[in-house]
Structure 1
Amino acid sequence: MKKAMSNVDVAAVVEELQEKLVGAFIGKAYQLAPDRVVVSFQSSGRGKLDLILEAGRRIHLTEKPREAPKMPPQFPTMLRSRLSGGRVTAVRQHGFDRVAEIEIQRGDDRYLLIAEIFPKGNILLLDDYGRIVLPLRPLAFRDRKLLAGEKYQYREDQLDPRTVSKNDLAFILASSDSELVRTLVRGLNMGGTYAEEVCLRAGLNKTEPAHSLTGEEIDRVHRALGEIFGLVQTDPHLVLDEGGVVDAVPAPLAVYGGLDRREFGSFSEALDEFFAIEEAKAEGVKPKTALERRREMQERSIQEFRDKERELARLGEKIYERYGEVEAVLAAISKGFEKGYTYSEILAKIKTSGLPIAEKILALDYQGELLLRLDDPGDGGGEAANAGGEGEARGAELELNSKLTVPQNAQRYYDRAKEQARKREGAEKALEETIRLIERKAGPEKVKTRKVFRRKKPKWYERFRWFTSSDGFLVIGGRDASSNEEIYAKYLEKRDLALHTDAPGAPLVVIKTLGEGVPEETLEEAASFAVSYSSLWKAGLFEGDCYLVNADQVTKTPEPGEFLKKGAFVVRGERQYFRDVPVGVALGIAGDQLIGGPISAVKPRADPIVEVEPGELSPEDLAKRIYRSFAEKEDDRRWLKAVASVDAIASFLPPGGSKVKG
């Protein structure tokens, strides 16, 4: 079981980060442990991305929830002050060492964020001259000083197994007095797993003396090096056996032949899961049995079949929705075929015709199979829509056969949807059998059942709008003029903070501080809460401004000659403004309670969860849809209705039209 990423792993992750982070903007930084930092990025195409850097162990994107300290230590504070708002211009690996570099440009300043993944590694920020601005851990070695103000020095370069010449390899092997596998590890800067893989692919015994290899055997070792280290990332997955997770690798390895595997869409996802499992073991969490892992895989498969079924049915419906357009395209191709043109000639003529359909036909093969793009009105074209993150959801790419009619092409999609439904039903039956086996193995006294839900007495703040911030602060807001008055009269204390928008029709939002300092993240979440439940949402706006004041700046005493209507206030003194705050709320079930509020405050605590943005549905209609989405993931409907009824869900939704995000 590996404890840290290898140089091959670093190369694979860097390749992935080059695609996802270059061009993104730096957000906040958090320190979760003495050797672990998370940096957030905002990408125009992918939204928010979190990168975890752990000195001497790992670097990859993460989706695991985090609990950051209320007061950030010196290193993340420094990263925020120097890098926030900066733009990533490059991500690279230093040579083939376990060192990843992220280059950031902020204004005229250029910085280099370095993550050392080797033993006794560090995380450091360098300035444009290569000097250390601050290390995560100040360290001094005989030949390297990792201290603020010092010139950063890389470790001494080692031979790169990707580019080592045959002569250099022969010299390393011939001058070694150790076995082959150890010689490869020490001489070519690679981990033990990859050294064993080289031996296996070269057809050599890993324990034979390195200096005894013949010229032909050295050639085989050299070829094996080229095969292995040229793979980088082709098929990221976890390697599994009966004892649990063995490894996370970016490409298949022969040394793990015969073992089970769990595939992922990216290597970061695989590493994120691998290290989460390792941490759970370290914390004493009981590892999952083979049956429990089987159950998880079956549940994932069922969800994948269900998603594919819905998507295929949606595409079938899309064909009928755009019947006229699809029919026109099919007719144009059919007409050309009747005239004796081949399909490749038809495609060439259409592409040079200047007709509107030329942009819609993406491909046409020799059998008449057609790939057609339909952009919904308002998409603004494929690329522009996708840049906003919504074009793919609103438009469609359809695989059609030009020899079939419109209904026949639609039926193809419906038939494929039915096939996914049959697979899902088969997987559901298999899951039922797995659950029976788990229950039988556990015994009747160990079978877990949901406790009978007893409705709790509502807390005082639950009659208002409310949420608990990421830092644990209670934030409340009025639902209407009467509740605004009640909050002011009964619950606004001198030690509290208040927020409001310049726009009318906004709640009085109060952060209950209990006399403690309020972190920046809570302030930002409260600002998002204030604008999201204001008239800005009802107007269909996606961002707005609000301001923060102390409680004693809020008063019901008007200026002479003025009159305050019910629910209105006067704010005197200086205000701290939050500009262009994005609107957006999330709802989810945390334990036996429905919660709602800013996405960053709700998402780590709730499951299932939905994110909501301004749209066209009334709170009542959207609440019904959200309830149905919860019901798909929860079998106990009586419990769900008691915890998250339609009325309860509607009470968390902002006034005006809304829709589920994405």
Structure 2
Amino acid sequence: MELSFFEFKRLMKEISDELVDSRIENVYSMDDGSIILKLKKDNDRYELRISPGRCMFLVRGEYQKPPKPSETITKLRKILNNSIIVKVELLEGERIVIFELQRPYAERLNLIIEFLPKGTLIVTDSSGRILECLEKLLMKDREIIVGKEYKPPPRRRIITSTQDVEQVLESIDKNRKIVSALAIEAGLGGRYAEEVAYIAGVEKSKKFSEISIGEYEKIRKAIMRVLEEIETGKPVIVESKLEVYPLPYLPESLKLRDLKVIQASSFNEAVRIAYEKNLTYEAARETLEKIEKEIKSLNEELENKHKTLEKLKALSSQKRSLAKFILTYSSEIEKLRYAEPPGEVRIDELMVRVDKFSRKISISSSYGEVQLTLNESIAKQASRIFDEAKNIDSRIDELKREADEIGEKIKKLLNRREHLVVEKLETISAKITRGKMNWYEKYRWFYTSEGFLAVAGKDVSSNHALLRRHLEKEDLVFHSEVRGAPILILKKGADSTERSILEAAQFAACYSRAWKEGLQYISVYYVKPDQLSFSPPPGHYVPKGGVIIKGEKKYVTVKLEIAIGVEDSRLVWGPSQTLEGRTTRIIKITPGKERAKELAEEVIKRIFGEVEDRKKKELIEDIMKIIPYGRGSITKH
């Protein structure tokens, strides 16, 4: 899994801001040969995983590390620890990333990572002298050796942006084939060179000297389009039988192929997921190969049994039909015993031949042939053919049971394969940590269609905490007179319109017991903060978490319905009108009997499609929290 220059360009655009001003806390080497820089920026911690010669990515979380560092890593720690990343640069036209580091009270250093075929990691001083490297490399045009001056590879004239396209195309060797020239001389790489030829509709085996002016223009436009898609497209992870690889967008040339495609929230995330999955498959390869071999063998056995079943079904049907005809015309056939001279006679669909010398009766029809004897009644012999069909049917039933057993074995092996991958992925993957939570994320919340924050309590205790800590004079407070109803605050609700008030009331209604009881509509009231009192009048009692409402309550009647959608790859929720215009993929849920986990899986299937295992697990947990009382029903549009 190697990234191209253009893919690195997209990656650096995504992660550079987070890298700059980060402090390197520590350096680790991993079992697969990759290096991890443990970073801290403000209160956030990250890990930059670097696989020289292949790729890198940034993760908010941490990996499980080997216990003992190597000698080289110990040296790197002495040089790099506590350095601040002040600048990150992708060398133009090359898969080389340069980090400019500021050490405490010392000169600046350069950390250089080469993602070329002979990948390595190099540390130089400000003059370019190599202080440390992962391994010594001797090449035709340069050397990577401690003490020597670092020199990048000789500069090639390749496409690095849309501005270079015209010039590079003019300089290409016209005797080269289109894809080869675009991949190597233009620097697009094989995948994007193939994509350009596909979009342009030009035969890829043609040489540049053989194409027309019109085809040349199509190629130029296709290159521009591909570069734009790499820069701004929606990232995906593509799984084939051979590997898992990240792409900054799904190329047109891959859309018709039999590939599993998973959407990713960013290209950095796509790189991480693909990298971890490839490590997982590598770690589990031996066991997976045994499982695949067993599945293949069982599938072949199953296919043979199905073929045998079809043959036996046809044979049973033929015997029954033939026996039926013989039984129907048994009297006419019996008379032929005494026919003179014996010979061949047609009786309806049956052709009957009597041979008195061998005392045989041969009967043929579209259902097959059979030989009967003159020594026994025809009806009795027809009955025996029926018995043969029954015996075949018994064998068919037996084969069906065997086929079902094989099917169950295959199912178990497929589950075992899936669980093996998930288990390995759990041990190999980074333990992702979520960013710092906003105060309202401890509660139930959403934003109204007008942009007002609505926050609801989850129980008596959080209702009380919400009012005590976060209620302000510009807010509105919502509640319903249904047991178990939450308190909801519409922040700055005094400035909102009826639209936001109805949305806040609907959200509050959904998390009352009215949902559990299967009601469709209920009334919710709202009041101003100065109408609330936590202290009862003399002689009265307020239960724990309770409040007293003074003055007039304003009531609205709302439908119990919550909507879930996706916006910019993020889960969004709230009353359906709050999601309109933000996303076209909206699932509406009303009170019902289906379990939250089943609903969550269906929601993911409808609005996200294929999702990577760990992401799916997180989404299921998040969606289950949204569904009131753990049950509901998806509405049919």
TM-score (norm 1): 0.48
Structure possessing the higher radius of gyration over alpha carbons: 2
